[in-house]
Amino acid sequence: MAQKDLRDLITETKKQLEHLRVLGVEGIQVSLATAPAIHVVEPKIAPTPISSEPLTTLFGELVPAPVKLTKSTETFAQIHAEIGDCTRCPLHQQRTHVVHTEGNRKARLMFVGEAPGADEDFQARPFVGRAGQLLTKIIEAIGLKREEVLIGNVNRCRPPGNRAPTTEEASMCKPFLLREIAVVQPEVIVVLGNTAMKNLLDTREGITRLRGQFQDYKGIKVMPTFHPAYLLRDPSKKRETWEDLKKVRDYLDSHRRSEP
C-alpha cells in the first residue's frame, strides 16, 4: 500500500472513531472475516469479566489478554524445604549458606536484588552488608521499617567475586522467587539493578532506560531502580533512586489494600 493511501486510511479511521465517540459508543469490535466492517457495541452498564481469550485491535491484530497472578496456597517453609541444600547449579560449590527471602509474609512492598554478597553469604540473610544498610535507610526514608517489607534475590547463592549470576544460574533459582511472590502477592516490587530487573521482567531493556517507570508483572506493579551497591560506587545516582522510591511511596499511599 502506498504511503498516501495509508495516510488517507488512518485519517478516515480517526474521523470514524471521533464520530462514534460523539454518538456515545464506548467500544467497537472488528470482524476478522469481514474487515473493515465495523460493528457497534452498545454501552454496557457493568464491566464484563476479564476473558482469557485474545482481544483484537481496530485493525484485527491479536492482543494477549491480561495475565493475573494466581494466589498460591504454599508456605515459605514448603518452598524453602524444597530448595533444601541446593546443588542445582555450580554456585553451590563455593557458597557458605543458601540465602532465603526474608521479611513480612503479608508485605505490600517487596525488594528483589540479584544475588547475595559476602556478608549475606556469611550471615544467611539478604542485604545485610553495606548495600543492605543503605537499602534499610531507603526503606525508612519512605516511611516503612525493614520488617514491614519483603526482601530477597533472584539467586540464593553468592556468585564468586560477586559477579552477576549467569542466565543458567538464574534459571535454577528464579522459579522459587516467583513462587514466593505468588504466595505474598505484594502490590509493588522494586527490582534493584539491571540483572534483577531483566530476570523478573524477561526484558532486554537496560535499567537506565526503564528505571523510574512502573512496569507490570502479572498485575503487580514493578519499579526498576538502581541497586544500592551501585549507589555506593556512584552516589550521584541517589537522587534518581529517591525519585523512583517516592513514586512507590505515593502509589502505596494512594492504593490502600482492603482488609479481608
Q: Which domains does the chain have, with CATH numbers?
A: 19-63 (no CATH), 76-254 (3.40.470.10)
Cell match 532465603: residue? 100
222: confidence class by pLDDT, cuts 50, 70, 90: very high
What are 103-160's pLDDT values in tens digits? Answer: 999 999 999 999 999 999 999 999 999 999 999 999 999 999 999 999 999 999 999 9
pTM of the predicted model as reported, rounded to 2 decimal places: 0.75
Q: E strand or H helix at 195, and its extent?
A: helix 194-201
Q: Return the bridge partners of 215, or none.
A: 222
Q: E strand or H helix at 241, and its extent?
A: helix 238-254
How far apart are the C-alpha atoms of 161 and 141, rounded to whole Å? 31
How far apart are the C-alpha atoms of 38 and 27, rounded to whole Å? 11
How far apart are the C-alpha atoms of 150 and 152, rounded to whole Å? 7
**pLDDT value, residue 68:** 87
- Angle separating helix axes 167-184 and 194-201, nearest 10 degrees: 70
What are 177-194's pLDDT values in tens digits? Answer: 999 999 999 999 999 999
